[in-house]
Chain A
Amino acid sequence: MSWAAETRTILKKELRSEFRRRWSSALLLLFGLVTVFVVSFSLGAGSLTPGLLSAFFWVTLFFASTAGLSRSFLKEEETKTILALRLLASPPSVFWGKLCFNLLLLFFLELILVPLFFVWMNVSGINASGFLLILLLGSLGLVAGTTLAAAMVAKAESKGVLFVILAFPVLAPLLIFAMAGTKAAFAGAGWEQLANPVKALVSYAVVIGAGSSILFDFIWEV
């Protein structure tokens, strides 16, 4: 069976499991909605600068993804299904299957969260296509980094603490570039001002994606 077909099989299983139990989607959505709602309610719509808005937007996505996406491997470990997966699935297909599932989950959150964020925070006059590109690239990097960190901590004793320690240095550069790009897009800046964050995010997604794919074999074998 080809690598792509095996990845598709794992993605289909993840979607079916999530559809039946909604472990991660409910957690992601709850965290995202509550955070945006509480901040917009306490600070008031239209009172934040593009810099604060972009920081707030990525902090919400970061914490929602660490709360929800980090469960991808943890659930397999807790329910002992990881042994069958390790026995019968190839490591790259497990990594890419989980990554694709996490990406779909994050897109689902963004589909609901972004319109609400724009309405509740009264965001207007932005470079919409620039924002969407930054959001897409940032999401790719966020999911690749989170999936790898989740795989690394799945077997550890203090999973929560270790996840934060591992995820922070991996995801900090991504958040810096994503916030810079989003800030420029929220301020309505043109493509020339978005070029550097976009290049940095593309590089980050390629490096983390390729690095994670190689590293995952070793993590999975341990």
Chain B
Amino acid sequence: MSVSRAAAPPSAKLDGVVKEYPGGVQALRDVSVAVTGGEQVAVVGPSGSGKTTLLTILGTLERATDGTVEIAGVDVDGASDRALAGLRAHRIGFVFQSFHLQDSLSALDNVATGMLYCGMALRARREVARQALKRVGLGQRLDHRPGALSGGERQRVAIARALAKRPTLILADEPTGNLDSRSGAEVVELLHELAEEGSTLVLITHDEKVAATFPRRLRMHDGEIVEDES
């Protein structure tokens, strides 16, 4: 990809972000971080340290209680729910620990569903989905339902779903958490490869070996970024 990394605008920029849940629990305290376009970042930390909350704020699924959040050039605080949905539909791809595939749909249609809200017609979505599944090595599994796939394959379907619309930002929440170490390693490698094609990747993990494959690592503790190593 010919995008110049240095000149790319930040994919995500958080400034003094606080996230407080009802009952006074502070999941994030004064988090400031910028992720440049095309960067690959691992977020590590013990459970309860605020990793997933950080990811939901980056993914615009939740709004910060305080501070400013800018994702793909959009000021999240000032944006309507509808505008944020548009941002998620076109710019953000999610990969979850528990895959979140629909059992009643084939691998192809699961991936095609990833572009449902982009306003593309079904035929076009299926075509892109076919390409994306081939890209993740599941070209032979298009018509299989998730139930007929192994854990690693399911996560690859989920990755294909996230990347098919070519998002600027891929957010992965413990994508290897439900996989054995070999499939886990394959999945991480695939994510790296795909991100190389031009997306920013933010991946949450508590696995140090996975984190070690990333050029930049954010370490979190008690809702704060305690270390930013690269």
Our verdict on whether A and B bind, yes or no, reads no
